[in-house]
Amino acid sequence: MSPASTAPTSPEREKPKGADNGEKKLDTRVLTIPAVRLDAKHISDEMAARLSVSLLGHVLFLKSQVPFPVVQLSRMPGGKSTNTRAAKKRAEFINAFDELSSHLHTTFSALSTAFARNAARYPKLHDTEPSAGPSDAPTATAYLSVVLGPTVGTAKARVMLAMEGLEVRIWGTRDDEEWPQDEDSEEGSIIEDGEEDSESEQEDEDESDVDDQDERSDDSAEEPDASDEEDEEDIPESPPPSQPSLSRTPSLPERLLSRTLANACADGPGMACEMAPTQTHILLRAPRCFSHPAWVPRQNLTSSLETVLSDFLQDSGLQPARDTGKRRPRKGVRTEGVFVGCANGSGTPGEKNEVVEGESEDDADEMIWWCWNGRLTGFAEW
Query: Beta partners for 164?
Result: 141
CA 94 to chain centre: 18
Confidence (pLDDT) at 171:
75
* The pLDDT of residue 77 is above 80: no
Asked if the model's pLDDT at residue 16 lies above 60, the reply is no
User: From CA 48, how far away is CA 28, in angstroms rounded?
Assistant: 27
Nearest to 321 by CA among 348, 294, 345: 348
Percent of the chain predicted with pLDDT > 90: 42
Residue 74: alpha-carbon gap to chain centroid: 21
φ, ψ dihedrals at 192, nearest 5°? -65, 160
pLDDT attached to residue 239: 38
Find the mean pLDDT for residues 152-180.
Answer: 80
Any idea what DSSP says for residue 22? T
CA dist 150 and 377 (Å) reads 10
Residue 189 scores a pLDDT above 50: no
| Angle between helix 45-62 and helix 252-267 axes, rounded to 10 deg | 30
Average pLDDT value for the chain: 75
User: Lowest-pLDDT range, 21-25, 239-243, 272-276, 369-373?
Assistant: 239-243
Name the phi and psi angles at 171, rounded to 5. Answer: -75, 145
Rounded-to-integer distance, Cα 306 and Cα 367, Å:
9
Whole-number Å distance between alpha carbons of 236 and 105? 33
Q: What is the pLDDT of residues 302-323, one digit of tens each?
A: 999 999 999 999 999 888 876 6
Mean pLDDT of 234-238: 40
- Supply the pLDDT for residue 181: 43
Q: Which amino acid is at 251?
A: S
What's the predicted TM-score (pTM) here? 0.72
Quote the pLDDT of residue 226.
Answer: 47
Say what the alpha-carbon torsion angle 90, 91, 97, 103 is, to the nearest 10 degrees. Answer: -170
DSSP code, position 154: T
Q: What are the boundaries of each domain within the chain?
A: 4-8+30-174+252-319+336-349+365-377
Higher per-residue pLDDT: 363 or 114: 114
Topology, domain 4-8+30-174+252-319+336-349+365-377: Cell Cycle, Spindle Assembly Checkpoint Protein; Chain A (3.30.900)
Segment among 17-31, 76-90, 239-253, 342-356 with least mean pLDDT: 17-31
Beta-bridge mates of residue 371 = 283, 296
Mean pLDDT, range 29-58, rounded to an integer: 91
With 90 as the cut, is the pLDDT of residue 126 above it? no
pLDDT at 191: 39
Query: Which is nearest to 162 in space by CA: 372, 337, 378, 288?
Result: 337
H-helix or E-strand spanning residue 285: strand 279-287
Q: What is the DSSP string of 218-269?
A: HHHPPPPPHHHHHHHHHSPPPPPPPPHHHHSPPPHHHHHHHHHHHHHHHHS-
Element (H, E) at 209: helix 193-220
Give the residue from 45, 51, 65, 34 showing the smallest Cα distance to 261.
Answer: 34
Residue 297: what are its φ and ψ, rounded to 5°?
-70, 140
Give the pLDDT mean for 155-167. Answer: 95
Confidence band (pLDDT; 50, 70, 90) for 238? Answer: very low
Neighbour tally for 369: CB within 10 Å: 24
Distances (CA, A) of 329 to 32, 78, 310, 362: 19, 47, 13, 34
